[in-house]
Structure formats: structure tokens, C-alpha cells
Structure 1
Amino acid sequence: MPRRTATLLTSTFLLIGALCAGILTTVPYAELSPGPTVNTLGRHDGKPVLSVDGERTYDTAGHLNMTTVRVTGVNYQMNLLEAVYGWLADDAAVVPHETIYPEDVSADEVEQQNAEEFSASQESAKVAALEELGYEIPTQTIVSSVVEDAPAHGRLHAGDAIVAVDGREVSSPEDVVDRVTAHEPGEDVVFTVVPAERATAAREAGEDLPTGPDAVREVTVPTIAAPEDGRALVGIGAGVAHVLPFEIDIELADVGGPSAGLMFALGLVDRLTPEDLTGGAFVAGTGTITEDGTVGPIGGVSMKTIAARDAGAEFFLTPEDNCAAAAENPPDGLTLVRVGSLDDALAALEDIREGNAEDLTRCAAS
């Protein structure tokens, strides 16, 4: 056999072997890629993303798109070739598997956490938007969680509204903590509560908590010592539920996590005010939001900017803590706008609709 032919065959076999090895060799990585975007002002799967019942709404123009990241599944085993391709591609990111799916957390737990964060982000977006528009939002102090096998388990339930502790009214979760920890471990605490079903019904109707003897009950719970510092505890988390002045529904299936909060809040403000926030422009964005309107960072920002530009966005509202990363390799034709609060985002939208894009605060690479 001629040397040239032998060399060619050897190289071919080595290449085939390397490809086979790359396919058969699995690596502990996951891949992020641009996910779908959804206009919060529009419809998704035939339903309005934002629905308001009990208050006047207005027609809107333009786009306020929330963005997502597509992630390989928890049981997906990436091979070496896929990892190398992801490292080299501009529209994918390869990260250690445990970054997305911690080893000590099950897939069901990850899914549950994402669902809870998504639900909490919706609530925060509603409150931030309504308070921005001048609505007063009363609150209920509630049992947000109950620790299994703790003294409160079976006595108190998630969603119960806490009216008083030891006969003294409470107005915040901090009041509940202070009253419980004022006890010595082993002592009893008396909670005055409105059961979850009645409390939820009052909240959804925009009414005060019922106060009659048929609605309120007293629950005595013994305390135990906290293992970390010996303080008295009963095994509940105290939180806040908001009493909204009218019904707001956010319909968006198959999405998890808190990163759509900013865009939900902007969508609600747009629906509840006569002026179009965007002036007809295609704006996308991301960011968590707190009830006071603070915008927080998210993961996968570079994938979200790609998704936004592919969908047709001209502007991308970017949490200030994500700006440097987003600006390292921005998609062509997409203006990255830095925002740290709902007010920042509204000011940016005013510049956009008035044609003053040169006044926008833009992201800059570090």
C-alpha cells in the first residue's frame, strides 16, 4: 500500500475514533441557549398574558417582551463534542451541571423552587406596578410556611392570617418573630389566626379580615430551642400577603424563576394607563423586581439578549448588575439600556417613545 494512502487511512481512522470518543464520552456540563420571548402586552397560547378584572384597562401598542433561557434537562448527559461546540458557539453557554442542578437538590425540588420564585415574582410585580400608579396595597401577616415535624406542624397552616400573638396584635412578620422569641424554649405561644381559606377569600375580595368568633380561632403552640442559637421557635415562617384592589391574573405556562418580574410590572403599568409606554417600539428586557420597585440581576443575560434580538427587539432593559456581562458581546442592532429600578425603566421608555434614544443610560463593558 502506498505511504500516502496508508497515511490517509490512518488519519481517517484516527478522526473517526476521535469522533466516536467525543460522542461516547459524557461530561458533567449543562447548556444554556436563547429561549422563547413573550410579549407581556399580548397573548400566549391564545390567552392574554395579563388580565385585569375590576379596573379600566387600555389598548396598548408595541412590545414589552419578557425573555427566557432554554436549559438542558437535569438527566441530559452531554457528550464531549456537544460541550466543545457549546464553548465555541456564540449562541450557547456551557456551564458545570451542578451550577444549574445542585447535587443535593432533586429535579422535583428544582422545579418546585422555580415555580415558587415565578409566583413570588408575579406578586411583587403586581404590587410594584400598582404602588407606582398610586394605589394603596394593604397587607395580611400570614404563615408562609410550616416546618415538618415542628411544634406548629398540624396546628398552623400555610396561608393562615396571623391577627395576634399572645393577645397582642401584629402588623408585620417581624412582630411575629419578636413575640415568639421573647419566650423561653418550652413555653407556649398563643396565635390568633384567621384560617387560610377565609383569609384568602377576604384578600381576593379586597376586604378586611373577618373578626367574628366564627372566623377567628386561637391556637396554642409549644416552643422549642433553635439548634443554632437556642432561641425559642415554633417552626413557621411568617410572611406578607397583599390585598389587591382588583383582580390581576398572569397567564404564562412552562416558565419558572423570578426574572420576568420587571417586564410583568411594566406590562401592568402600560395596561392601566392611557398612554402607550413604548410608543410602538419593540422593547424586551429582564430582571427580578421587589415590591418597592428595585430591579435585581438574573442569570443567562447574554442568551436573553440574543433571544430578544432574534425576536425583533430594538431595546433591551438590562439590570444594572448584569450590564457589564451583557455588554461584552451584544447582538448587533440591540441597544442595552441600564436600569436599577422600575422608575429607571419607565424613564427609559419615555425616552424611547419620545425619540430620545441618545439620552438612554446604556450598558458598558467593564
Structure 2
Amino acid sequence: MPRRTATLLASTLLLIAMLCAGVLIQVPYAEMSPGPTVNTLGVHGGDPVLNIKDKPGEKGDPKKYDTSGHLNMTTVRVTGSEYRMTLLGALSGWLSDDSLVVPHKTLYPEDKSAEEVDQENAEEFTASQESAKVAALKELDVPVSSYVAVGAVEKGAPAHKRLHAGDVITAVDGKPVSKPEQVGLVVRGHKPRDNVSFTVIPAAQVKAAQKKGKKPSSKDAGKVTVRTGKTKGESTARVGITTMLSHSFPFEIDIKLADIGGPSAGLMFALGIVDKLTPTDLTGGRFVAGTGTIDDSGKVGEIGGIQMKTLAARKKGARFFLTPAGNCATAAKARPDGLTLVKTSSMDDALSSLQKIRKGETDELTRCKAH
């Protein structure tokens, strides 16, 4: 066989072998890509994303106003926990501008099951809605009542079937609590197999009060005794609950958005609520998108997958993107053409930037820069 033919044949066989290896060899990576982006001022799946409900005949009903433009929250689409990326898939993702390849454990930690990750994302999404409501109403000087509630109960834990998600805890061992961390401090002060007494308003009574825009009544509270267990690998007492700060609002704010998880829509939900409850049209008809966690005080926190979210927003038509300060440098390195990245650290920053956008004073915006 001529040398040239042999070389060509060997090269072809090597290429085939490499392609087969690329298709068959699995690598520990996952892929992120631009996800759906939804206008918080609009309708999704046939229902308003933000529905602020009047209570006819009750004093203090909210006055709602028409809105225009967009205040879009953005998402990232990720491969499932069972998906196993091939070497060829990873190479393709690394070369693509529309996807981001990350270690599989970044999305699905090895010490958590897929169900635990989904549950955590759902809880973070619920908590972000609560914080968005609080931050928005504080901005509008609307009073909000706060209390400590059970966020989740671990299956099989000492508190399982004794305490329930949504229960309000007013005291532990007779000591009043006003912050979630106070519950854990009292519990950890016990030894395993000690009894802990929780003063609890059941979730059903809490929900009924919330529907009326009222704070849960201590008259509905009762005592629940839980025998502590032991933290795995330690001698610390535990009961197996997570606690959170929950709230009562003077009117009902219903956020409907299915199949979304995580806390990153908090800022855009808060802005949407403010827009619907104030006569000022926040966007002035402009297309603004954004992302960012938000806490009860209105502080905006950074999120993951920022490059995919800016891509999703621009493809949908956004011209301005409210970007958490902590994500600014990363976002600026891959800024889509035609999209202005606006540095945002707080609710006040966002409202100030929206004022400049609707007035056409965009040269005065604080823009993200790549360091």
C-alpha cells in the first residue's frame, strides 16, 4: 500500500475513533442556555403575572394603575440532573456563544439529591416573592407585619407531622421569637432527646388571616412538643425544620409563574408591584429587563448565569438590563449588542435608573464595566 494512502487511511481511522470517543465518553459537566423571559407587568399562561387583589368594602384597598412597556424577569435553562454530557457536547458548548458549560456539581451538588435541589429552588422562589412584596411595599410606605414561620419540615425528622410548613412560631420554650435564627439558638441549647415546646399558630389559621390582609392572631396559638434528635456526626440537638421570616400584607398580592425556581426574579417582581401601585409609569413604555435577588430592605444580590440572561433579554427585545452590581464585570465581558447593562445595588438604584430611562437621560445611567 502506498505511503500516502496508508497515511490517509490511518488519519481517517483516527478521526473516526476520536469522533466515536467524543460521542461515547461522558464528562462531568452540565449546560446552561438562555431561558424564557417574562414581563412581570403582563400576562403569562392566561393569568396576570402580578395580580393585586382588591377587597371590596375594606378600608385601605390598593388603588391600581395602568402600566406600559416591559419589566421582564429572566431565566436560565439548564440540563437535567440525569443528563450526562459527552465530550463532543462539552466541546460544542464551549465553542457556542449561546450556552455555558459548567461543572455538573455546580448545578447539582453531590451531597444533594435532584429532589432536594428542586425543593430548595422552589423554596428560594417562594422566599424571593415574599421579599419582593416586602421591599415594594416598604418603598411605598405601606405597613407590613412580620413573623417567624416554618419554611419546611424534613421528612422523618423529629418535627415531622408535628410541625408543618406555614406554621407560625411565636415562642420556643416560652421565649418569644421575632427572628428565624432565634428558633435554632433555643433548639441547639438543648441536648438530644430533650423536649422542646413550640408555641404555634397552625398554617390553616395563618392562611385564613393572610387572605383577609390581617396578622395571624395569637388567640389561635397552641403548644406543640417535639423531642429533639441529634445532628449527624455531631452531638447538637435538632428538630429538622427550616425557619423563615414571613409577612402579612394589607391586601393580597398574587404572583403566578409556574416552572420557575430560585431567587433571581426578586428585583423584577418588586419593581412590577411598585409600577402597578403608583401613578408613575416606571418604564415610560421602554423595554427593560433584569435580574437579581432582593431582601426585605431592598438590597439587590448577584445571581448565576448572568451571560445567558442578558442574551435571553436582548433576543426578546430588551434595550436596558438591570444588572446586580456583583455580576456587572462578568456581564460586561459578554454584553449583547444593543443592550445597556445598568449597574444596580438596591431598589432605590433601580427606581432611579428607570426614571432616567423614561426621561431619555440614558447618558447618566451607571453602566457595567468589564474590569
Question: Which TM-score applies when normalising by structure 1?
Answer: 0.90
Check 1:267–1:81 CA distance in 2 against 1; reply closer, same or farther (3 A cut): same
Residue aligning to 2:50: 50
Residue aligning to 1:261: 266
Residue aligning to 2:147: 140
Residue aligning to 1:340: 345
Check 1:256–1:2 CA distance in 2 against 1; reply closer, same or farther (3 A cut): same
User: Which of 309, 328, 331 is 1:326 aligned to?
Assistant: 331
Which residue type is aligned with residue 368 of structure 2?
C
Structure 1 residue 355 and structure 2 residue 360: aligned? yes
Q: Which moved more, 1:233-242 or 1:279-288?
A: 233-242
Residue aligning to 1:114: 121
Partner SS for 2:119: helix
Check 1:187–1:30 CA distance in 2 against 1; reply closer, same or farther (3 A cut): closer
Residue aligning to 2:138: 131
Partner SS for 2:335: coil
Residue aligning to 1:90: 97
User: Which of 167, 170, 173 is 1:160 aligned to?
Assistant: 167
Considering only aligned residues, what root-mean-square deviation do their CA atoms show, in Å?
Answer: 2.5
Residues in 1 aligned to 2:49 and 2:232: alpha-carbon distance in whole angstroms: 45
User: Which of 309, 312, 319 is 2:317 aligned to?
Assistant: 312
What is the Cα deviation at residue 246 of structure 1?
A: 0.8
Residue aligning to 1:202: 209
Residues in 2 aligned to 1:145 and 1:15: alpha-carbon distance in whole angstroms: 53
What is the Cα deviation at residue 57 of structure 1?
A: 1.5
Partner SS for 2:73: strand
Structure 1 residue 38 and structure 2 residue 30: aligned? no
User: Which of 60, 73, 95 is 1:66 aligned to?
Assistant: 73
Check 1:15–1:250 CA distance in 2 against 1; reply closer, same or farther (3 A cut): same
Q: Which moved more, 1:175-184 or 1:30-39?
A: 175-184
Residue aligning to 1:287: 292
Mapped contact 2:214–2:249 kept (Cα < 8 A): no
Aligned length: 364
Structure 1 residue 27 and structure 2 residue 27: aligned? yes
Q: 1:56-109: per-residue Cα shift (whole Å, max 9, x none)?
A: 221111111111111122222222222112111212111111221222322222
Q: Which moved more, 1:299-308 or 1:136-145?
A: 136-145
Q: 1:18-75: per-residue Cα shift (whole Å, max 9, x none)?
A: 3333223322211111112111111112221111102222111111111111112222
Residues in 1 aligned to 2:148 and 2:109: alpha-carbon distance in whole angstroms: 32
Q: Which moved more, 1:269-278 or 1:200-209?
A: 200-209
Partner SS for 1:57: coil
User: Which of 297, 306, 329 is 1:301 aligned to?
Assistant: 306
What is the Cα deviation at residue 195 of structure 1?
A: 1.6
Check 1:150–1:35 CA distance in 2 against 1; reply closer, same or farther (3 A cut): closer
Which residue type is aligned with residue 159 of structure 1?
G
Q: Which moved more, 1:355-364 or 1:47-56?
A: 47-56
What is the Cα deviation at residue 198 of structure 1?
A: 1.0
Residues in 2 aligned to 1:23 and 1:84: alpha-carbon distance in whole angstroms: 11
Residues in 1 aligned to 2:115 and 2:233: alpha-carbon distance in whole angstroms: 28
User: Which of 190, 212, 221 is 2:197 aligned to?
Assistant: 190
Q: Which moved more, 1:118-127 or 1:144-153?
A: 144-153
Q: Which moved more, 1:251-260 or 1:199-208?
A: 199-208
What is the Cα deviation at residue 194 of structure 1?
A: 1.8
Check 1:21–1:315 CA distance in 2 against 1; reply closer, same or farther (3 A cut): same
Check 1:40–1:82 CA distance in 2 against 1; reply closer, same or farther (3 A cut): same
Question: Which TM-score applies when normalising by structure 2?
Answer: 0.89
Q: Which moved more, 1:202-211 or 1:49-58?
A: 202-211
Which residue type is aligned with residue 35 of structure 1?
G
Partner SS for 1:135: coil
Check 1:243–1:12 CA distance in 2 against 1; reply closer, same or farther (3 A cut): same
Residues in 2 aligned to 1:256 and 1:180: alpha-carbon distance in whole angstroms: 30
State, as a whole percentage, how many aligned pairs show the same letter.
61
Residue aligning to 1:172: 179
What is the Cα deviation at residue 171 of structure 1?
A: 3.2
Q: 1:137-192: per-residue Cα shift (whole Å, max 9, x none)?
A: 10222233445555444433332222334445443335544555566666544332
Partner SS for 1:338: strand
Structure 1: tracts of 5 or more residues without a match: none
Q: Which moved more, 1:234-243 or 1:334-343?
A: 234-243
Q: Which moved more, 1:342-351 or 1:197-206?
A: 197-206
Mapped contact 2:27–2:85 kept (Cα < 8 A): yes
Check 1:334–1:105 CA distance in 2 against 1; reply closer, same or farther (3 A cut): same
Check 1:221–1:81 CA distance in 2 against 1; reply closer, same or farther (3 A cut): closer
Which residue type is aligned with residue 366 of structure 2?
T
Residues in 2 aligned to 1:174 and 1:97: alpha-carbon distance in whole angstroms: 32
